[in-house]
Homo-oligomer: A and B are copies of this chain.
Amino acid sequence: MPTQGLDYRFRICLHDIDAAGVMFYGHLFRHAHDAYEGFMSALGFPLDGLIRSGCRLPLVHAEADYMMPMHHGEEILVEIGVEVLGGARFTLAYGFRDGAGALRARAQTVHVHVAESGVGAAPLPDALRAALDAAKI
């Protein structure tokens, strides 16, 4: 059963909008990452603490599908969960829903645990793996 408190809300603000009058597509990834930071904190692994401890989880892939443009002032709910949990990597899935529950966009990010040497992948730490496993969707 998924851990509670993992969803994230934001309101689309003035600077999210671009010259075409809708949210700039690249900003979806900024909001996805803010949701990811909240998610990791809720799991007990805030990113700033992980970075200070030397644990790095860089992205090797990111993608998004845009179903409907998003507009200034709309409130968006980001649902986030673990889609795939591998030995050294995990895939997060994000759904961006509006106030009516419609899916406006979805995204996916793939993260790899980097070895302390900085070269190559390394198995995910056990405690982090267990927390991610509890957030599988």
* A interface residues, Cβ below 8 angstroms from B: 11, 13-22, 24-27, 29-30, 32-34, 37, 46-49, 51, 56, 58-67, 69, 71-73, 109
Q: Determine the chain B residues whose CB is within 8 A of the CB of A11 once the complex forms.
A: 37
Q: For the complex, give the distance between the alpha carbons of A29 and B15 in Å.
A: 11
User: Contact check: which of B19, B24, B26, B60 meets A66 at CB < 8 Å?
Assistant: B60
Question: How many copies are assembled?
Answer: 4
Q: In the complex the two chains form, is A24's CB within 8 Å of B34's CB? A: no
* Known A20-B51, A46-B73, A47-B73; 8 more pairs at CB < 8 Å: A14-B18, A15-B19, A17-B19, A25-B59, A26-B33, A26-B62, A60-B67, A62-B66
Q: In the complex the two chains form, is A19's CB within 8 Å of B51's CB? A: yes
Q: Determine the chain B residues whose CB is within 8 A of the CB of A72 once the complex forms.
A: 19, 47-48, 51
Question: What's the nearest-Cβ distance from chain B to residue A11, in Å?
Answer: 7
Q: For the complex, give the distance between the alpha carbons of A27 and B18 in Å.
A: 12
Interface CB pairs A-B, < 8 A, 25 = A14-B18, A14-B24, A14-B33, A14-B37, A15-B19, A15-B26, A16-B19, A17-B17, A17-B19, A19-B21, A19-B48, A20-B51, A20-B58, A22-B58, A24-B33, A26-B26, A26-B27, A26-B30, A48-B71, A48-B72, A49-B73, A58-B69, A59-B66, A60-B65, A61-B64
